[in-house]
Structure 1
Amino acid sequence: MTLTSFWLLWLLLVAAYDFHQRRAPNWLVLSGALAALAALALEVQPFGIGWSEAGIGAAVGFCFLLCFYAVGLMGAGDVKFAGALGLWVGLSALVPIWIIASLIAGAHSVLWLALKRWPFSPRLTLMLLGPSRTLESGASTRRPRIIPYAAYLALAAAAWMVWGRQS
């Protein structure tokens, strides 16, 4: 298995987990970040970036999304995943990945709001909403996370890997 294959598998796992659970688990984010650091240390980084670009990508990815987490618009896993993704691709690739992921997340939001207002497809509405997080008493355990942003970041990164790097 090549390092690029590992990276794509990691992205697929993050996307699948975030779509299904609406969270990016720490063990999964940390494994990707450690693999990125190992690739940098062994000088086998598949995207041709060095320590400084990876560090800047991780710091900017983490800090920028931390602002959204601070106001309650994003989950902590999304923030940590953006930092780990920045370690892999650096800032120059992270910007178009962010733009693509944000456009997809915006489309998700618009579709969910439209289906909430005009419920012609309850099954699709529930799929967009994500899993229910309730206690036995029926009270919600936390604010629902409707947008699986880490999944959209992962899909955008995979698209960048396949199409964006060829130009």
Structure 2
Amino acid sequence: MLAAFVLFLLAIMASDLTRRRVPNGLVLLGAAGAALALLLNRQPFGLGWEEALAGGSIAFGALLLTYALGVMGAGDVKFAGALGLWTGLAPLVPIWIGASLLAGLHAVLWLALRRWPVAPRLFLALSSPRIARNGDGKRNTATPARKARHVPLAAYLAMATLIWIAGGRGSAPALAAPLY
């Protein structure tokens, strides 16, 4: 089931990086995969229902506030809930810290390239697809007044989770090991 989880993370990354969208169907598929892994007792990180539900609930609830403030999209929030179902509560803080650092780097680089256009292709790659179509960094008035999302947080949460898995934290014995 770890392979299914990794494929889910890669699909989220591809969608969020290229279109700045996290499809509901993909999030639902990921949450269903986590539930199936729990039902079949094949949860890749050795979690039970309580740990998985705690992770999903806390992840969803924590990001719901930032969505309510207009800081991020709903897809990021829903993905965080599905991610928490897979990982449980314990690894969420290091995953969020890693994702926040990646997202912060993305934002700083985007702002710098917007101000000093030394690498226009990189600027467009870091921009939302709507900005990339316009090419000028300004709001497209032909589209609805939906706020452009420049930072693909779900993609960075998925990347940080893959780093966490690759670092050995993704195995059940490593979860129990001390962090020092």
What is the root-mean-square deviation in Å for CA atoms of aligned residues?
A: 1.5
Letter aligned with residue 152 of structure 1: Y
Tell me by how many angstroms 1:35 deviates: 0.6
Correspondence for 2:66: 68
How do residues 23-102 of structure 1 correspond to structure 2 at under 5 angstroms?
Answer: 23-102=21-100
For residues 53 and 99 of structure 1, the distance between their equivalents in structure 2, rounded to whole angstroms, comes to: 20
For residues 72 and 132 of structure 1, the distance between their equivalents in structure 2, rounded to whole angstroms, comes to: 18
Q: Per-residue displacement from partner, 1:86-115 (whole Å, max 9, x unpaired)?
A: 000001011111110000000000101111
Number of residue equivalences = 163
For residues 67 and 115 of structure 1, the distance between their equivalents in structure 2, rounded to whole angstroms, comes to: 30
For residues 102 and 168 of structure 2, the distance between their equivalents in structure 1, rounded to whole angstroms, comes to: 16
For residues 69 and 23 of structure 1, the distance between their equivalents in structure 2, rounded to whole angstroms, comes to: 14
Say which of 90, 93, 106 aligns to 1:108.
106
Runs of 4+ in 1 over 3 A off after TM superposition: none
For residues 80 and 109 of structure 2, the distance between their equivalents in structure 1, rounded to whole angstroms, comes to: 24
Tell me by how many angstroms 1:36 deviates: 0.2
Tell me by how many angstroms 1:138 deviates: 3.9
Q: Secondary structure at the match of 1:160?
A: helix
Asked if 1:156 corresponds to 2:160, the answer is yes
Say which of 133, 150, 159 aligns to 1:146.
150
Correspondence for 2:137: none
Q: What stretches of structure 2 of length at least 5 have no aligned partner?
A: 134-139
Q: TM-score, normalised by structure 2?
A: 0.86
Q: Secondary structure at the match of 2:88?
A: helix
Q: Secondary structure at the match of 1:55?
A: helix
Letter aligned with residue 142 of structure 2: A
Q: Percent identity?
A: 55
For residues 164 and 21 of structure 1, the distance between their equivalents in structure 2, rounded to whole angstroms, comes to: 31
Q: TM-score, normalised by structure 1?
A: 0.93
Q: What stretches of structure 1 of length at least 5 have no aligned partner?
A: none
For residues 15 and 126 of structure 2, the distance between their equivalents in structure 1, rounded to whole angstroms, comes to: 14
Q: Secondary structure at the match of 2:21?
A: coil
